[in-house]
């Protein structure tokens, strides 16, 4: 059985929740349940990010453009 939880938020937080819920085509309640579930999850970091495995393709040879630019523009030696 579901229960009701009432919280108080400031206007900025409520607006951010409304905006994100609309962007994800969810109700604010659905969004808050997902956020709370993720925050209270006892799954290991590996379990939480396992769905990302194999999605990132890194070039093995040389530096890509942005790390090279960061290195060139970095004032530290």
Q: Does residue 70 surpass a pLDDT of 80?
A: no
Predicted local confidence at residue 75, as pLDDT: 66
Residue extents of the structural domains in the chain: 8-51
- Mean of pLDDT over the chain: 84
* Calpha distance 26→14 (Å, rounded): 14
The arithmetic mean of pLDDT across residues 10-26, rounded, is 96
Residue range 33-48, pLDDT digits in tens: 999 988 888 888 888 7
User: Is 34 or 76 the better-scoring residue by pLDDT?
Assistant: 34
Predicted local confidence at residue 61, as pLDDT: 60
CA separation (Å) from 56 to 18, 52, 53, 61, 68?
31, 8, 8, 15, 19
CA separation (Å) from 48 to 23, 24, 61, 77?
23, 20, 30, 37
* Calpha distance 74→52 (Å, rounded): 30
């Amino acid at each position: 059985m579901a229960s009701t939880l009432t919280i108080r938020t400031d206007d900025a937080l409520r607006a951010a929740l409304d905006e994100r819920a609309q962007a994800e085509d969810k109700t604010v309640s659905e969004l808050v349940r997902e956020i709370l579930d993720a925050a209270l999850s006892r799954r290991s970091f590996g379990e939480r990010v396992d769905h990302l495995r194999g999605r990132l393709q890194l070039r093995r040879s040389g530096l890509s453009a942005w790390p090279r630019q960061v290195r060139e523009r970095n004032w530290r030696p």
